[in-house]
Structure 1
């Protein structure tokens, strides 16, 4: 390790010290790199194999690196949908004594893809609108936490599949600011305007690279971020006034929020008298994401995405009904469902195919496949039969979203890690088209963070 190099990190992984920090990031050898699809970035970014996991390393100025590191730490503490910061490394020197840029290290978000990778093969135009819906949910969630992004775009976002939809995560907080007292309307509206402008430009770039159908109206899709954001923001924050005799509307409002994937942590209610009589005003004050996630976590211990949790709860309730267990405690039925339905379904998938998708996503797709098979045959298909057909016809077509691509020769590596905007060839089997299904995306599960520490190498 170069002398005087300083590492600021939550915990120190000894393997971190073995990386070639004395070399510019763009010159790092292929044997330490993980060949993952990389989005566009204004900085040099590389994915690196480290202790049986993958980290993302970004070269950046020292002050900006520390600022982004602390900002991401604060967002993680708030349960924000974003990548987890690992370390800031400063004081790097080249072999000849030249000063090298500092780096920010973050955990790679497993099963996630940049938007260009999602379009690297032909996909239906609906995919663009689904990504916008996911980004709208992400932006609302961040704004509720008082985070001003400053550079909202598809490029600064990672996407994971969530029961056929997409969930979006912030991956670049370089231009962001966190306001504990909340955002002003002006900052919120500016973020939305920036998002619209950037999205339209990015979609036009996709069309120029033949990755998006020419028939897609990029202006219309860009405008969608405004309408979807406004709709979600109003549902989550707007005041609602009704007569005292309509108290059922309080529960209706809460259920609507739950359907969007949010829990209500606090409600403010007050009464006012006007000429027509006494009325009640309700406004959610504290809202949080993850209603279905927390339910599944409580009942089964499984850590899943929001829509995956919703789908699993639906299947659990169906299982509870058809097995005559409606009067039994749901916690008890959930344990039976886990051991008799969920785990056997995954066990029926060959080990070499389980890395294709997250376990909860595989389970969701099996349920979808069973429904389609039953509809085609006009009779119920067993889960066992559906799994067998799914494993032989559907799952092998998926790109392996957990592991990295096998390292090829130098020319292949240059193509994989190229920072230019050339589209990935449509016949690249490593980017098989993702399944299409209608839905909107929900959010990241809350994550913890440990206290920071500094390490100075000699």
Structure 2
């Protein structure tokens, strides 16, 4: 069979053809590989370079490869955090004509780490709680979209820093199924698998001495269930309010938005006697603040980063002479989009550029800005007054980053210095 490459981008096949598809992945020469940390997988996985992109290449049988490729593209279409599917290569054979397994190709998720790399330096329990939060949010998003994962685990997830918290991404959809809606039994099955898998993975870490002594593996496995159920309840419960208390519904919508979820539509029913109103929001996928920041500024960030940047943007806009306060007549001031782009040009980009690229490591521009806002707050609390962003940047560059860069970290760890990025992400 001739080599065949199915790809999402018409530019990719030409780049992918340069890779040694006639060799099993385990035998690929170092010149094609990128030394990034890999998680545990049932299959052989390698990171390689295709042009300017870093890709993940996974060997598996043809049917599951094509199926996972389609599922990952479906998840991308409905806005679920997952790795991007770039292509499938079939018809592979070695120099003697013996068939080789097909491969699934995905884009490497920049700044992300598999959980085992994060445990190379023992994680504090507080950090592990944040990982459980991120994984619970991901699982809820999947279930709201009708996706049954079938193998939720730390091993099948990648984590990226997100304004002091973490964002979780699905990295293995091989066992997944997409439905119009999930039953209670399908959700419960996925959640029970997550509990068992996570407990097992943490017990394995405990046996290797990589787990903090205060962490109970079984307890953390149960914690994902508790966090999931609390979030699911908040997102899907029916509320009954006194008639005329419309602001109660607004409060509920705002609380959902604060969790990062949008309300696509609402079902409102008035009681026969008119004394109560039943309110059922239809919640859609997370990303409320991401979309708002992207619409206003063009910055594409993680959800918590977007929330933090929007707060700073709104505070800054309130100081501008041409800012129209809430309730002002239409046309009374500059449009929010105009002010937002001015903030990017005059505040965000100059602030991030003031941090030397060599000290930023793998932190993206939004994470750098979040760190600076956090540092300004800490200094201001200590001083009892706002010290300003410029002074915070100078102190951060002089005293915080040099210490962080001196601490040895796993390769690619977003908490550490890591390799400097090739280009300034704030340019353009």
Residues 178-221 of structure 1: per-residue CA shift (max 9 Å, x gap): 002x0011000010000011111111222222222122122222
1:129 aligned residue: 129
Q: Against the structure 1 CA distance between its residues 62 and 431, is the aligned structure 2 distance closer, same or farther, given a 3 Å change threshold? A: closer
Conserved in 2, the CA contact under 8 Å of 1:236 and 1:287? no
- Relative to structure 1, is the Cα distance of residues 396 and 50 closer, same or farther in structure 2, using a 3 angstrom cutoff? farther
Q: CA deviation at 1:79?
A: 0.8
Q: Distance in 2 between matches of 1:98 and 1:348?
A: 55
Match of 2:8 in 1: 10
Residue in 1 aligned with 2:82? 82
Flag structure 1 segments of 5+ consecutive residues without an equivalent: 401-425, 436-458
Task: State how far apart, in whole Å, the 2-side matches of 1:220 and 1:179 are.
Answer: 31
In 2: Cα distance, 1:133 partner to 1:263 partner = 19
Task: Give the match's secondary structure for 1:430.
Answer: coil
TM-score normalized by structure 1? 0.84
Instruction: Quote the RMSD (CA, aligned, Å).
Output: 2.1
Tell me the CA shift for residue 42 of structure 1. 0.8
CA contact (8 A) 1:293 1:304 kept: yes
Shift of 1:58: 0.2
In structure 1, the residue matched to 2:356 is 350
Q: 1:428 to 1:238 in 2, by over 3 A?
A: closer
1:283 Cα deviation after fit:
1.0
TM superposition shift of 1:148: 0.3
Contact 1:398 / 1:432 at 8 angstroms: preserved in 2? no
| Unmatched tracts of structure 2, length 5 or more | 325-332, 417-428
SS in 2 for 1:81: coil
Give the Å deviation of 1:335: 2.5
Where 1:21 maps in the other structure, the secondary structure is: coil
Partner of 1:447: none
Query: TM-score, length-normalised on structure 2?
Result: 0.90
1:160 paired residue number? 160
Q: CA deviation at 1:333?
A: 2.5
1:254 alignment partner in structure 2: 253
For 1:173 and 1:314, how far apart are their aligned partners in 2?
35
Is 1:151–1:191's contact at 8 Å kept on the other side of the alignment? yes
Please state whether the residue corresponding to 2:387 is helix, strand or coil.
coil
Alpha-carbon offset, residue 428 of structure 1: 5.2
Structure 1 contact 271–281 (Cα < 8 Å) conserved? yes
Contact 2:348 2:369 in 1 (8 A): yes
Contact 2:114 2:157 in 1 (8 A): yes
Does 1 or 2 have the higher relative contact order (CA < 8 Å, sep 6+)?
1
The aligned counterpart of 1:336 is 342
Instruction: Provide the rounded CA distance (Å) in 2 between the counterparts of 1:44 and 1:221.
Output: 29
Alignment of 1:16-35 (within 5 A): 16-35=16-35
State the partner residue of 2:209.
210
Q: How much does 1:357 deviate?
A: 0.6
Match of 2:299 in 1: 302
Cross-structure match for 1:365: 371
What SS does the corresponding residue of 2:17 show, helix, strand or coil? Answer: helix
Structure-2 separation of matches of 1:119 and 1:100: 34
Are the structure 2 counterparts of residues 339 and 159 from structure 1 closer, same or farther at C-alpha, using a change threshold of 3 Å?
Answer: same
Q: CA deviation at 1:246?
A: 2.3
Q: Return the alpha-carbon distance in structure 1 between the equivalents of residues 386 and 240 of structure 2.
A: 47
Q: Which residue of 1 aligns with 2:232?
A: 233
Higher mean Cα deviation, 191-200 or 114-123? 114-123
